[in-house]
Amino acid sequence: MRRRERGSVFVLSLLVLTALVAIVAGLASTNRSAVRAETNRMEERRARLMLESGIQRAIAELQQQDLTRTTAHDPWNSLGDAGATEFTVGQDGFRIQLLDASANAELNGLTEAQLRHLPLTQAQIDCFLDWKESAKTPRAQGAKDEYYNRLSKPYNAKLEPFDNVDELLMVKGFTYGTVYTLDRRETSVPLAAASVQMPILADIVTVGSVSADKNINGKPKLDIGKATADDLAQLGITKDIADTVMRNKSNYKKVSDLLKISRLPSTAARIFADNVTVGQETQQTGRININTATQAVLSTIDGIEPDVAAAIVGRQSSGFRTLGELLDVPGIDVPKLAKFIDYLCVSSRTFTARIVGMAGRSRVAAEVQLVIDDDGGVKVTRWRPQDFWTIRDRWGWEKNSTRQVVLGATS
């Protein structure tokens, strides 16, 4: 009997011990999970700090930017080597790329004629316009609330301007492939010469770009609505042209209207292009920077043929200081310049910073819009988080950096 009791006690003890081991193992596993979760949270916080460090690095760079001219040869364009350089701070770091937003066409300012030069079908153009315009009746191939309300996850047409490029994905006929890949290679109107590769839509459009409307010295231009004949004479405008302008002041709504004055000589056209504006605004929205725009972007503007766009791009190595210098480009005369001058600028105040903050295994990515004020200060106007695992397609970055710069290191 005692032997049986001792056997039972042994079995019971073994069971208790097994249970205790299981409990301890479970607690250890739980503890390891908790430690890993806390480590992940810490790494993510550090990655976010690195992303913010990247923003501050971009701001510091743009505070040195020349406000009268923005070119692809300025220091901002080489910062981060298009994401290939990793800036490290201790064990963490960030990668960065700066883009001139004014190198692209502004989504909300695109005319139907411009849209036909983009890699879009007529149905996509109709849906694009229907999405942002307030009219309730759709175009022939467009879509309004009736279409969007029938979707499995219904919503309304916005009937307001776009807030960002990603919003295109909500518009009928637009997919990730349409916006971010080369799944289409046709346009309603030929985009450029056959040698020019069809662009990715997201690479040639933007939202919210702002440029300065000042003269070569960074001073406000002369508002033609308030100008006197003496003001024009001081700029070098002859008396007969000045008298014509004074008689027709109310007819000039845009600078292009001044360039349409009958038999206007190129000397006067240059003066108007470089020194005169309509209204008192010192900034313009949605202008395309001729110093940084690609041939494909320039070719979206009516009046700029592919050969003219190519000639403008060919001058970017030396850069344009003023819009009047376009008259030195082969194929551009005063009547032709009048067709597209209102779409263009030579400097930008708006830049897009693409940044990835890195800490341990955590990666935090964002696109940040930065705007330079008149006094040279830089502010953040938009912040768009990005999925790190898709930016290789969206941004064209390699997965890993190829160069490292240690910040704070001393030689």
Spatial CA neighbour of 59 closest among 311, 276, 369, 270: 369
Does the pLDDT value for residue 403 go beyond 50? yes
Name the token pair of 58: 């971009």
Residue with tokens 């066409």: 105
Instruction: Check pLDDT > 70 for residue 228.
Output: yes
pLDDT tens column, 155-177: 999 999 999 999 999 999 999 88
**pLDDT band, residue 394 (cuts 50/70/90):** confident
DSSP 256-286: HHHHTSTT--HHHHHHHHHHEESSS-SEEES
| Cβ burial 356-394 (10 Å sphere, 16+ → b, else e) | bbbbeebbbbbbbbbbbeeeeebeeebeeebebeebeeb
Mean pLDDT of the region 231-255 = 95
Mean predicted lDDT score pLDDT of the chain = 89
C-alpha 298/C-alpha 404 separation (Å) is 35
Residue 189 has pLDDT above 80, yes or no: no
**Cβ pair 156, 145 in contact under 8 A:** yes
* pLDDT at 3 (0 to 100): 55
- Taking the C-alpha atoms of residue 318 and residue 325, their distance in angstroms, rounded to an integer, is 12
pLDDT band at 193 (very low <50, low <70, confident <90, very high): very low
CA distance 337 to 276: 15
pLDDT above 50 for 195: no
pLDDT value of residue 233: 96
Least confident of 16-30, 241-255, 331-345, 390-404: 16-30
Among positive and negative, which fits the CA dihedral 213, 215, 220, 222? negative
Residues 6+ apart with CB under 8 A from 393: 180, 181
Average pLDDT over residues 90-113: 94
Identify which has the larger pLDDT, 289 or 408: 289
- Give pLDDT, residue 151: 97
Quick one: what percent of the chain has pLDDT higher than 70?
Answer: 87
